[in-house]
Structure 1
């Protein structure tokens, strides 16, 4: 039954699952993401109007490869279209990394992960800009457990950027409920907490790129499992933040492992 909860989180909040791939196994997940916000949370957590409607459309390709039975290599490449009075499009940051299983149990897994955030050469002078234009590193731990009713997958990580913005502590918890044999309901809580260090620089009208921010959001949606292919759709709602957009969104994607 492992395929029922395998990798439920990657296209949503960017964390890896606690379970690793078998040696030689490949996983590919293209998906489309849309987010919009008319308001933002200021540094005190109060909602204020942006002055335009910020929109983000993203086509992303995520992949995994089982290097060994305990180590999985990962990559994520997004292509973004941003709009807020002005419009910008192009590839944003490439992420490459790994998941290393530390301990496997009959119904659970404990792992560590690491990744590098690499700018793809976009201009940091465009508005809205596609990214910080800074190299970043992230690492953390992952734990997942499953049963007849579903699963729980959690992760805690630390992201550091060279220069700016501030470092971030990132946490997620995903619960999956098996509704039917091939259908799950997935709910994710995602927390991102800026630590206030690093240089504070404004980055234009991209409300998702402030140098120091705090963010709390939830995702919920179904996953339809058709053998080694899954169809996934989730709704996103930001319910608290500081120096970030007060928006909503959705994503749809296909997961294919072979």
Structure 2
């Protein structure tokens, strides 16, 4: 039972931490030949997990994750943008009674964003992407770096910028569907972010992200008597501050917490990122 809880929190916790596109990108694409780069470093730690009923339980040890996440956009046309969301993980887990470590490239995401509408400060777009595994040994490595499965995702994006109380404000919304074609379960994925300029160079960012498994995945055997959890649900809340270093550079730092979940790790962490548009 303890091994099942450890595997559950590690697998679903890792997958739940794969980051969506940075807020500055969102529904807004790039101009032709324009580029946007985000280099983000993330820390996550937990010694508890949410069980299948959403109750928080002790997992018998601490799982820790450090993630390096470069995100790149390149504008093809005035309406089309290519995206690449890349991940490298350093993982530690002592729930088995000994410290286990692993590091390497995780599942990568490559996509295409198409702007459908842009008027009166609002943008509507679609974003299609493919998930490409890095080819690691899923049975022989622990903690696992990801699911090691090809998948696809389709998103509807909406963004709106305006002025509120004399300050710049923005809203960014995403509603998507991710499918791994059998294992793990398909997911509805959504997030909402509000940004507001609190000073000349400072912006506060409030975010919520929901990953909702549809309970349609098939069991997957990693090793004899070891089944990977196929379905999880997670609500993540975040708060960050963005500082405009210049017209093309921004520094962003914040924290997040796993507020609710089923079959996934609880806990939380923080991140720091550098944004550059050129």
State if a TM-score over 0.5 links the two structures: yes
Instruction: Identify which of 136, 146, 151 aligns with 1:122.
Output: 136
Instruction: Identify which of 8, 14, 23 aligns with 2:20.
Output: 14
Instruction: Identify which of 137, 146, 152 aligns with 1:137.
Output: 152
C-alpha separation in 2, matches of 1:241 and 1:132: 19
The structure-2 alpha-carbon separation of the partners of 1:144 and 1:203, relative to structure 1 and needing over 3 Å to count, comes to farther
What do the CA deviations read for 1:63-106 (whole angstroms, capped 9, x no partner)? 00001110110001111011112111000011100111001112
Misfit runs of 4+, over 3 Å: 201-204
Q: Is the 8 A contact 1:38 1:52 kept in 2?
A: yes
How far is 1:201 from its partner? 3.5
| Runs (5+) with no aligned partner, structure 2 | 1-16, 95-99
Q: Is the 8 A contact 1:166 1:199 kept in 2?
A: yes
The structure-2 alpha-carbon separation of the partners of 1:12 and 1:155, relative to structure 1 and needing over 3 Å to count, comes to same
How far is 1:225 from its partner? 1.1
The TM-score with structure 1 as length reference comes to 0.91
What do the CA deviations read for 1:187-239 (whole angstroms, capped 9, x no partner)? 101000000012133769xxxx8420010011101000122000001201111
2:62 corresponds to: 53
1:111 corresponds to: 125
C-alpha separation in 2, matches of 1:253 and 1:38: 26
The TM-score with structure 2 as length reference comes to 0.84
C-alpha separation in 2, matches of 1:12 and 1:79: 10
Question: Is 1:167 equivalent to 2:186 in the alignment?
Answer: yes
> Any residues of structure 2 matched to 1:14-53 within 5 Å, and which?
14-15=20-21, 17-53=26-62
1:244 corresponds to: 264
> Any residues of structure 2 matched to 1:227-238 within 5 Å, and which?
227-238=247-258
> Which structure has the larger Rg over C-alpha atoms?
2
Q: Secondary structure at the match of 1:148?
A: strand
Q: Is the 8 A contact 1:221 1:234 kept in 2?
A: yes
The structure-2 alpha-carbon separation of the partners of 1:202 and 1:69, relative to structure 1 and needing over 3 Å to count, comes to same
C-alpha separation in 2, matches of 1:166 and 1:173: 23
Question: Is 1:157 equivalent to 2:176 in the alignment?
Answer: yes
Q: Is the 8 A contact 1:73 1:98 kept in 2?
A: yes
Q: Is the 8 A contact 1:129 1:203 kept in 2?
A: no
C-alpha separation in 2, matches of 1:116 and 1:130: 18
2:87 corresponds to: 78
